[in-house]
């Protein structure tokens, strides 16, 4: 019925309206190996669940072509080229590492292929290097960490030591935190960036943190590095005297059980926790648990919401790369993490940020939400958004 009306309108106005259900080729660019492999698998699971849940709302169908970035920017660039030029995908979805996003940005922008970023927080992709073809459904590195600088100062913390892996995400996450913490009056008494994907022993850095005179430590680590870091922090006996804070990827529900009791008491900020109390989240958590037997993480939500955004874009009448790019920028809905929308000035997501503490739960570690901080759009950071022509 809906299509009959659209087709009739199309005839009357001369607009191109698809006569039959359209199949969209989706290039999924994720790490299925390397330090972020578990994150890639989780995003894929969330995406498939989103297609399952919302797919019946659209006549469109989706054919997925997956490629492994291996968390290596040059490998990812080769895979992006293959998806765009050889597979001729209509849209791309994925990317976990900020380094990978930085590497594929020009290719995606130049080819005019819409990309739904389902993790990588690289501030520049929705800042100085923004593109009308790049829409982020996950978070930006600054967005997650800026609210925490102010919040920690308000809790009475004055001196902080920071640590993060030495690549774009590490530097931007610590940068966002530092900006608001020092603006509030706090002091960074020491800071190190550890070699990304190469650091196994955090001992020397933890010794420096201990002797720095800090009241607390603030870090960004994710995936395998987060598990090693949290365990070593605890076994060094630092947690009692030098409380550990960070962005919530540090204690993600995806791997907090691998960290075990070492993660308890760690306080972090993130745009999602599976314990958020809302009907949308309850429905999502229960559907995800039914599929996997465990609670979803922020990475699952990125995939789930990316699928929903894609479906919303096709419902809004998108038929090709240009119309998809334009429709993706207008997506707005209440999802598991709260009300979210896309900032038209940058194409970055706007969403609330939650402060949560990892605590002991019935079947392992769980997330106790301490505060919900209001959604704030990122500063444009040099983004001058040109419209997509269609």
Asked whether position 194 contacts ligand PHB by CB under 6 A, the answer is no
Do residues 256 and 364 make contact, with C-beta atoms less than 8 angstroms apart? yes
Query: Which of residues 96, 113, 174, 216 is near ligand PHB by CB under 6 A?
Result: 96
Query: Which of residues 50, 121, 147, 352 is near ligand PHB by CB under 6 A?
Result: 121
The strand pairing partners of 217, in sequence order, are 161, 244
Query: Which of residues 115, 120, 148, 309 is near ligand PHB by CB under 6 A?
Result: 120
How many CB atoms are closer than 10 A to CB 188?
Answer: 17
Asked whether position 249 contacts ligand PHB by CB under 6 A, the answer is yes
**# chain residues binding ligand PHB, by CB under 6 A:** 11
- Rounded least distance, CB 367 to ligand PHB, Å: 15
Asked whether position 169 contacts ligand PHB by CB under 6 A, the answer is yes
| Cα atoms found within 13 Å of the Cα of residue 264, Cβ hemisphere only | 7
Residue in 303, 272, 246, 331 with CA at minimum distance from that of residue 95: 303
- Rounded least distance, CB 96 to ligand PHB, Å: 5
- Rounded least distance, CB 159 to ligand PHB, Å: 26
Asked whether position 35 contacts ligand PHB by CB under 6 A, the answer is no
Task: Catalogue the E-assigned strands of 47-147.
Answer: 61-68, 91-94, 115-117, 134-136
Asked whether position 97 contacts ligand PHB by CB under 6 A, the answer is yes
Is the Cβ of residue 24 or residue 202 nearer to ligand PHB in the bound state? 202
- Cα(20)–Cα(385) distance, rounded to whole angstroms? 33
- Cα(337)–Cα(53) distance, rounded to whole angstroms? 17
- Rounded least distance, CB 98 to ligand PHB, Å: 3
- Cα(46)–Cα(343) distance, rounded to whole angstroms? 23
- Rounded least distance, CB 92 to ligand PHB, Å: 16
Asked whether position 98 contacts ligand PHB by CB under 6 A, the answer is yes
| The one segment of 117-125, 203-211, 270-278, 314-322 that binds ligand PHB by CB under 6 A | 117-125
106-130 as b/e: b if 16+ CB within 10 A: ebbbebbbbbbbbbbbbbbbbbebb
Is the Cβ of residue 26 or residue 222 nearer to ligand PHB in the bound state? 222
The string of DSSP letters for 187-225 reads EEEEEEEEPTTT----HHHHHHHHTTT-SEEEE---HHH
- Rounded least distance, CB 172 to ligand PHB, Å: 8
- Rounded least distance, CB 248 to ligand PHB, Å: 9
Is the Cβ of residue 97 or residue 323 nearer to ligand PHB in the bound state? 97
Asked whether position 224 contacts ligand PHB by CB under 6 A, the answer is no
Torsion-angle region of residue 205: left (phi > 0), alpha (psi -120 to 50) or beta?
alpha
- Cα(187)–Cα(181) distance, rounded to whole angstroms? 7
| The one segment of 93-101, 190-198, 349-357, 362-370 that binds ligand PHB by CB under 6 A | 93-101
- Max Cα–Cα distance, the chain, nearest Å: 75
| The one segment of 91-99, 197-205, 228-236, 356-364 that binds ligand PHB by CB under 6 A | 91-99
- Cα(371)–Cα(377) distance, rounded to whole angstroms? 19
Is the Cβ of residue 122 or residue 178 nearer to ligand PHB in the bound state? 122
How many CB atoms are closer than 10 A to CB 12?
Answer: 8
> What residues make contact with ligand PHB under the rule CB under 6 A?
36, 96-98, 119-122, 169, 222, 249
């Amino acid at each position: 019925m809906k299509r009959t009306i659209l087709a009739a309108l199309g005839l009357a106005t001369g607009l191109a309206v698809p006569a039959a259900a359209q199949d969209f080729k989706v290039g999924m660019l994720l790490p299925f190996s390397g330090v972020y492999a578990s994150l890639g698998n989780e995003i894929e699971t969330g995406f498939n669940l989103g297609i399952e849940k919302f797919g019946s709302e659209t006549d469109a169908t989706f054919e997925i072509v997956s490629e492994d970035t291996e968390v290596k920017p040059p490998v990812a660039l080769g895979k992006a080229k293959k998806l765009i030029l050889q597979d001729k995908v209509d849209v791309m979805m994925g990317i976990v590492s900020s380094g990978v996003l930085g590497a594929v940005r020009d290719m995606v922008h130049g080819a005019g292929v819409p990309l739904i970023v389902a993790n990588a927080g690289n501030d520049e992709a929705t800042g100085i290097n923004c593109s009308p073809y790049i829409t982020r459904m996950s978070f930006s590195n600054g967005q997650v960490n800026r609210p925490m600088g102010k919040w920690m100062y308000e809790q009475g913390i004055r001196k902080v030591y920071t640590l993060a892996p030495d690549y774009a995400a590490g530097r931007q996450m610590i940068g966002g935190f530092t900006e608001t913490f020092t603006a509030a009056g706090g002091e960074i008494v020491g800071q190190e960036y550890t070699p990304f994907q190469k650091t196994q022993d955090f001992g020397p850095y933890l010794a420096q943190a201990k002797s720095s005179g800090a009241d607390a430590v603030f870090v960004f680590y994710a995936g395998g590095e987060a598990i090693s870091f949290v365990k070593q922090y605890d076994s060094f006996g630092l947690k009692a005297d030098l409380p550990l804070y960070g962005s919530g990827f540090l204690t993600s529900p995806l791997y907090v059980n691998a960290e075990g009791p070492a993660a308890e008491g760690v306080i972090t900020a993130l745009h999602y926790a599976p314990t958020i109390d809302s009907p949308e989240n309850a429905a999502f958590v229960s559907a995800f648990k039914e599929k996997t037997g465990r609670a979803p993480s922020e990475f699952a939500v990125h995939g789930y919401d990316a699928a929903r955004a894609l479906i919303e874009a096709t419902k809004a009448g998108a038929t090709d790369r240009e119309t998809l790019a334009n429709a993706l920028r207008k997506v707005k809905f209440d999802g598991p993490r709260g009300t979210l929308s896309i900032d038209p000035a940058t194409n970055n997501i706007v969403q609330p940020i939650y402060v949560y503490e990892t605590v002991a739960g019935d079947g392992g570690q769980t997330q106790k939400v301490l505060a919900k901080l209001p959604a704030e759009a990122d500063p444009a950071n040099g983004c001058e958004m040109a419209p997509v022509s269609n």
